[in-house]
Amino acid sequence: MSIMSYTGGTVVAMAGDECVCIASDLRIGEQMTTIATDQKKVHKVTDKVYVGLAGFQSDARTVLEKIMFRKNLYELRENRNIKPQVLSEMISNLAYQHRFGSYFTEPLVAGLDDTNKPYICCMDTIGCVSAPRDFVAVGTGQEYLLGVCENFWRENMKPDELFEATAQSILSCLERDAASGWGAVVYTITKDKVNVSTIKARMD
Amino acid sequence: MDTMRDEKRKAIPAIGFYPQEEISTGTTLIAMEYNGGVVVGTDSRTSAGSFITSRATNKITPITDNMVVCRSGSAADTQAIADIAKYHIDVYTMTENKPVTIYRSSQIFRQFLYNYREQLSASVLVAGWDEELGGQVYAIPIGGFVSRQRSTASGSGSTFVQGFLDSQWRPNLTLEECKAIVKQAVGLATFRDGSSGGVVRLAVINKAGSQFELFRPDKPGFPFVQTPTPHLSFPPHIEQVL
Amino acid sequence: MATADVKSTVPHMDMDRGGAFDFSNCIRNQAMCKMGGKAPKLTSTGTTIVAVAFKGGLVMGADSRATAGNIIADKHCEKVHKLTESIYACGAGTAADLDQVTKMLSGNLRLLELNTGRKARVITALRQAKQHLFNYQGYIGAYLLIGGVDPTGPHLYMCSANGTTMAFPFTAQGSGSYAAITILERDFKVDMTKDEAEKLVQRALEAGMHGDNASGNSLNLVIIEPSETVFKGPIVPEFCKRPEPNDLVYKFQAGATKVLKHKTYKYDVVESMDITH
């Protein structure tokens, strides 16, 4: 079994019109045994920038601490909020520093920059950034999500449309991914607020 | 005398290492002394496994005006060694304000090829001319043992022409005689060796410096090989074209 | 002063080790792999990259697909990396390695240009790449085509992960290179016009994208001449298009998804403008 699917978990993000959505499931397991059902894999970095960490969750927590450390340092040095583009470059460099002994986590960044342009990107475990304009997914349900998002995503979605599309995508994914599940949480980030919705999903 | 180490490096997924086929110069290198200097000849094929990455490689690397090095083995290793040795030889030339002898240069090459013999798969022929000893050829196979040779062949194609070279060399060859022998030797070797091929490159190093020559299969002067016409492969009642 | 405090303590922490690699997880990872855990799939460019020299200039091109195993990780990834105004590098191999190596090269070359007040040369870029990659003995999986025009003319080189370099009039690299090189071998001529070279590169790339599953989606070209550098792309060949447009529109009604808990966090809106261009 791959180390990347040891704890399971999936994160997806979609970009809309001046808004982004990032969602994750809530399960943590030890291979097929479910250990916890309330673990979000999406973490707040600043008001408008969120990071998702799929993969081996022990490493994900370590990486999250390192990300927050670097982000805090950046904000102290620069005295301004970090942009999602900058954060992704930072995480990429952090991951690449561990090129020959990587953390088993695939980071995903979603947020709005200071002009409220949406930015989403995902990386592999050693920090190869791919930043498409539509959607990204990482984790055990990546394959299912990429397929379903290909049809659910449309150009210039408004926040409520975007929420529905993201939520339905991850729900579809949870139907077929045994390593993810037990509910999902969706963050809809817009220029003045963020909506956090816990959605009903399969509990098995 | 000169073996190619062709162990393939294994993938190490834990550190994300997935090697491709290593690029190597499965080569034919010939070098020979004549009465005023040396002649070296090489093929021009570079391959990665069975794929020919380059069919017009220059395996004769000039180090100084009066010295060249012919590389065989891993292309990366030999290029790096040639770069490093050239740097050292250039520094010695500048600090001492006189050319480094061919013998000393061969010892500089040996220093790296011997010290790093576990990590490298490189072998070279150092050929050149100096005031002290005239034309010289030093062969340094894998492992870093240096020996001066009057006539030598190296690389995977060398096995096919060792006997030919032994039969052809004699003291006090003229330049034209020597060039003809070297060219024909490369032609014979590339004909039989699958990892040698392409064009034939010759270099003449003598008092005047180095002159380089190129012989292409589509231009006159290329050393083609005439083999005996074969017998019919099938019984005579089957129509066959020879 | 808070900044100063932080700065003085930073060097003792795990930041800023000068960009060097951190091997602290190596032993753990190898142990985990030995225990039967499979290592994660890395993003590979699984590429077709092609470059051709013509009279006075150079055309380089790449497809835009990045793969992680059988998944298309990125449909529009940029494999033509800019090193300087007139030197470009196309990459094949491990995508993260290529991004970082080309980033390092472009940084160093820019510094060189600023320090010397001259344009950087292609051979300088090549040397840096070669020595860096040889140092790491092939463990950095970057296979590069480095090409460009400098005051000494147009140059095209290949640099492989273990540090081999070669000069070429035309070449291809990556998993689709076998298909691409057949087209180049057949149609390459010395001293082609810019148009001919551009068409040839595009044809070779299309052959690679057609014949190799790890290449596809779209192609990017860069045409480098002494006077100017033109970037073209993404160009989507006919066979890379989706066969028929999807007229089914999945649109969910607002409230279609059942929400269990809902919370809204409002924050102050800070108006700012885009000053990046």
DSSP string, B102-166: HHHHHHHHHHHHHHTTTT--EEEEEEEEETTTEEEEEEE-TT---EEESEEEESTTGGGTHHHHH
Average pLDDT value for chain C:
90
Q: Closest by alpha carbon to C21, among B166, A192, A9, A100?
A: A100
Measured CA to CA, the distance from residue B63 to residue B210 in angstroms comes to 11
**Residues on chain A touching B15 (C-beta within 8 angstroms):** 99-101
Helices (H), A55-130: 57-78, 84-97
> In the 8-state DSSP scheme, what is residue B14?
G
Measured CA to CA, the distance from residue B225 to residue C230 in angstroms comes to 49
Tell me whether residue C24 is in a domain.
no
Alpha-carbon distances of C100 from B56, B121, C83, rounded to whole Å: 31, 28, 12
What per-residue confidence (pLDDT) applies to B94?
A: 97
Interface mutation vs chain B, best among C43, C134, C166, most B CBs within 10 Å: C166
Confidence of residue C274 (pLDDT cuts 50, 70, 90): low
Mark yes or no for CB contact B15/A126 under 8 Å.
Answer: no
Contact in structure between B143 and B117 (CB atoms under 8 Å): yes
Residue of A nearest to C71 (CA): A143
Chain A nearest-CA distance from C117, in A, is 29
* Phi and psi, residue C198, nearest 5°: -60, -45
What per-residue confidence (pLDDT) applies to A150?
A: 92
Give ∠ CA B144-B146-B152 in degrees, rounded to 5: 115
User: Which domains does chain A carry?
Assistant: 3-199 (3.60.20.10)
Nearest to C166 among B20, B46, B119 (CB): B46
Higher-pLDDT residue of C4, A29: A29
Confidence of residue C233 (pLDDT cuts 50, 70, 90): confident
Choosing among 3.40.50.1360, 3.60.20.10, 1.20.120.80, 3.30.70.260, the CATH entry for B17-215 is: 3.60.20.10
Alpha-carbon distances of B149 from B117, B142, B228, C59, rounded to whole Å: 22, 16, 33, 46
Whether B94 and chain A come into contact, CB under 8 Å, resolves to no
Tell me whether residue C101 is in a domain.
yes
Measured CA to CA, the distance from residue B160 to residue B3 in angstroms comes to 14
Interface of C with B (CB under 8 A): 26, 29-30, 32-33, 38-39, 42, 93-94, 130, 134, 137-139, 141, 143, 158, 160-166, 168, 178
Q: Is B198 left (phi over 0), alpha (psi -120 to 50) or beta?
A: left
pLDDT digits (tens, 9 = 90+) for B83-124: 999 999 999 999 999 999 999 999 999 999 999 999 999 999
Cα-Cα-Cα-Cα dihedral of B187, B5, B50, B23, to 10°? -90
Chain A nearest-CA distance from C196, in A, is 32
Domain count for chain C: 1
Confidence of residue C155 (pLDDT cuts 50, 70, 90): very high
How large a percentage of chain C has pLDDT more than 70?
90
Nearest to A124 among C6, C96, C254 (CB): C96
C10: pLDDT strictly greater than 60: no
**Residues on chain B touching C30 (C-beta within 8 angstroms):** 12, 14-15
Measured CA to CA, the distance from residue C167 to residue B61 in angstroms comes to 13
Confidence of residue B4 (pLDDT cuts 50, 70, 90): very low
Higher-pLDDT residue of B16, C12: B16
Identify the active-site residue in C43, C47, C67, C124: C47
Asked if C165 is an active-site residue, the reply is no
Q: What is the CATH number of the domain that holds C227?
A: 3.60.20.10
For the residues A77-92, what does the mean pLDDT come to? 95
**Residues on chain A touching C23 (C-beta within 8 angstroms):** 100-101
For the residues B56-67, what does the mean pLDDT come to? 95
pLDDT digits (tens, 9 = 90+) for A145-162: 999 999 999 999 999 999
Question: What number of helices (H) and strands (E) belong to chain A?
Answer: 4, 12
Mark yes or no for CB contact C262/A76 under 8 Å.
Answer: no
C226: pLDDT strictly greater than 90: yes
How large a percentage of chain A has pLDDT more than 70?
100
Q: Which two tokens stand for residue A134?
A: 């539509």
Measured CA to CA, the distance from residue B73 to residue A78 in angstroms comes to 52
C95: pLDDT strictly greater than 60: yes
Range in A40-54, B83-97, C243-257 with the lowest mean pLDDT: C243-257
C14: pLDDT strictly greater than 80: no
Chain B nearest-CA distance from C121, in A, is 18
Alpha-carbon distances of C155 from B163, C109, C119, C144, rounded to whole Å: 42, 16, 14, 14
Q: What subunits make at least 3 CB pairs under 8 angstroms with A? A: B, C
Average pLDDT value for chain B:
91
Q: Which two tokens stand for residue A102?
A: 């990587």
Whether B15 and chain C come into contact, CB under 8 Å, resolves to yes
**What is the C-alpha R_g of chain B?**
19
Q: How many residues does chain A have?
A: 204
Is the previous residue joined to C234 through a cis bond, with omega within 30 degrees of 0? yes
Confidence of residue B242 (pLDDT cuts 50, 70, 90): low
How large a percentage of chain A has pLDDT more than 90?
96
What per-residue confidence (pLDDT) applies to B10?
A: 84
C82: pLDDT strictly greater than 70: yes
Measured CA to CA, the distance from residue B231 to residue B242 in angstroms comes to 8
C16: pLDDT strictly greater than 70: no
| DSSP E strands, A100-183 | 105-112, 118-123, 129-130, 135-139
What's the pTM? 0.91
Measured CA to CA, the distance from residue A186 to residue A174 in angstroms comes to 14
For the residues C37-57, what does the mean pLDDT come to? 90
Q: What subunits make at least 3 CB pairs under 8 angstroms with C? A: A, B
Alpha-carbon distances of B154 from B127, B134, B158, B159, rounded to whole Å: 13, 22, 5, 8
Whether B16 and chain A come into contact, CB under 8 Å, resolves to yes
Tell me whether residue C185 is in a domain.
yes
What per-residue confidence (pLDDT) applies to A19?
A: 96
Nearest to C24 among A101, A104, A191 (CB): A101
Q: Which two tokens stand for residue A23?
A: 């969602």
Domain that holds residue C229: 49-238
What per-residue confidence (pLDDT) applies to C5?
A: 63
- Position C122: which residue type? V
Q: Closest by alpha carbon to A189, among A65, A20, A10?
A: A20
Chain C nearest-CA distance from B60, in A, is 13
Pairing of strands C66-68, C71-74: antiparallel
DSSP-based three-state secondary structure for A153: coil
**Longest CA–CA separation in chain B, Å:** 77
Identify the active-site residue in B3, B25, B27, B93: B27
Measured CA to CA, the distance from residue B210 to residue B135 in angstroms comes to 12
pLDDT digits (tens, 9 = 90+) for B193-219: 999 999 999 999 999 999 999 999 999
Confidence of residue B5 (pLDDT cuts 50, 70, 90): very low
What per-residue confidence (pLDDT) applies to B18?
A: 84
Residue of C nearest to A129 (CA): C96
B191: pLDDT strictly greater than 80: yes
Contact in structure between A195 and A187 (CB atoms under 8 Å): yes
Name, in order, each residue with C-beta under 8 angstroms of C80's C-beta and a sequence gap of 6 or more. C60, C61, C62, C88, C89, C90, C220, C221, C222, C231, C233
For the residues A61-68, what does the mean pLDDT come to? 96
What per-residue confidence (pLDDT) applies to B11?
A: 86
Chain A nearest-CA distance from B49, in A, is 26
Beta bridge pairs of residue C44 = C67, C94
C227: pLDDT strictly greater than 50: yes
B6: pLDDT strictly greater than 80: no
For the residues C267-275, what does the mean pLDDT come to? 72
A138: pLDDT strictly greater than 80: yes
Tell me whether residue C181 is in a domain.
yes
